[in-house]
Amino acid sequence: MRWKEAMRLADQKIQWHPGFYAGIELELRPFDLEYDQEYQLTKGPLSIDLLIIRKQTDARIDNEIGEFFRKHNVVEFKSPEDELSIDAFYKVQTYAGLYKASGETVNQIPAQEITVSLFRDTCPREMMEQLKTLGAEITVRHDGIYQIEKAGLFPAQLIVTRELKEETHAILRILTNRATRQDVEAFLIATKDMRTEGDIARLDAILQVSATANRVVFDEIYREGEERMCQALKEIMKDDFEKAEARGEARGVAIGEARGVAIGEARGVEKNAIDNIKSLMETTNWSAQQAMDALKIPASKQSLYASRL
């Protein structure tokens, strides 16, 4: 079973969002929340990355990210490859406004029940400075979690996943192209008891993304044979390993068949040459050397053919 075969996806742009959706659901797993991915704002292409609805607004969310939530929570995720600019900030605020106006009756979704959360693996310094010049107040609520006030229609928070505490947010920290071996180990420790069918599917989605974005780190873990980590990864990504194994076996069969054909063809040529040498020796009483010279058998083949006459 080859680790590289299991870890490598097709060479294409990494699809980060499925991993993020899985990560935020696991991050907020203990709480009674409803998730709506790619929530459609209009009949056209406008959509919210993720809409999180609190089912019980009076229930406390004991989580550094979730404690900010109100009833309706608009979430925007930016991959490491995407820019989080001031325009993106106001675009998400606009999406939240469109969502507020989408109720079936007037003010069905009160503005005071809406929040905006933006996620990115590194801090968008330029956006933060531009917001400050416009009068925004930005405070650090927890490590990696910035509260943005007096900017836009709705309260907002910025979550910089690389700055989050490893011991409490290992699941989101691994959604980066800068993951370290320590991040992978922290992720596996944090998720060691998450083994329901739904948990495994979400963990697999996260690892699919992270392993593709951090191939060197994951290859190194397997190459150095860290049994505990490798076993945990294989347990989570069981289906992926089995598919890779099947691909490897199929490839081996194909290679074997191709080699078999090549060997068969070579043996056919060899048999014909030997038959021709024998025939010429019988009709002319020549020696094997004379027959091979007459048939222009390459010198490199003559000793082989002579041994099989």
Read out DSSP for 130-157?
A: HHHHTT-EEEEEETTEEEEESSSSS-EE
Short-list 59, 39, 170, 204, CA closest to 109: 39
- Check whether residue 27 and residue 155 sit in a common domain: yes
Structure tokens at 184: 């992978």
pLDDT band at 268 (very low <50, low <70, confident <90, very high): low
- Check whether residue 297 and residue 199 sit in a common domain: no
Total of domains in the chain: 2
- pLDDT tens readout for residues 53-80: 999 999 999 999 999 999 999 999 999 9
Structure tokens at 305: 């053919």
Res 115: pLDDT: 98
Short-list 58, 60, 76, 144, CA closest to 115: 76
- Check whether residue 47 and residue 121 sit in a common domain: yes
Strand partners, 160: 120
Name the domain boundary from 216, 236, 256.
Answer: 236
More confident residue, 242 or 184: 184
Can you tell me whether residue 112 is helix, strand or coil? helix
- Check whether residue 124 and residue 92 sit in a common domain: yes
Question: What range does the domain containing 192 cover?
Answer: 3-236
- Check whether residue 56 and residue 156 sit in a common domain: yes
Res 285: pLDDT: 65
Res 222: pLDDT: 84
CA distance 203 to 19: 8
Pairing of strands 156-160, 114-120: parallel
Selection from 43-52, 246-255, 276-285 with the highest mean pLDDT = 43-52
pLDDT band at 46 (very low <50, low <70, confident <90, very high): confident
pLDDT band at 2 (very low <50, low <70, confident <90, very high): very low
- Check whether residue 49 and residue 197 sit in a common domain: yes
Name the domain boundary from 198, 217, 236.
Answer: 236
- Check whether residue 118 and residue 188 sit in a common domain: yes
CA distance 139 to 125: 14
Res 244: pLDDT: 57
Residues 105-118, mean pLDDT to the nearest whole number: 97
- Check whether residue 204 and residue 254 sit in a common domain: no
Res 10: pLDDT: 41
pTM here?
0.72
Residue 266, C-beta contacts closer than 8 angstroms, at least 6 positions apart: none
- Check whether residue 208 and residue 226 sit in a common domain: yes
Residues 207-225, mean pLDDT to the nearest whole number: 90
Res 13: pLDDT: 74
Sign of CA dihedral 91, 109, 28, 230: negative
Which strand ranges, in their side-by-side order, compose the sheet holding 137-142? 33-40, 47-54, 72-77, 114-120, 156-160, 145-149, 137-142
- Tell me the percentage of the chain whose pLDDT exceeds 70: 83
- Check whether residue 164 and residue 274 sit in a common domain: no
Short-list 168, 171, 181, CA closest to 214: 181
- Check whether residue 217 and residue 255 sit in a common domain: no
pLDDT band at 11 (very low <50, low <70, confident <90, very high): very low
- Check whether residue 48 and residue 147 sit in a common domain: yes
Name the domain boundary from 217, 236, 255.
Answer: 236
Measured between alpha carbons, how far apart are the two ends of the chain, in Å?
44
Number of Cβ atoms within 10 Å of the Cβ of 102: 13
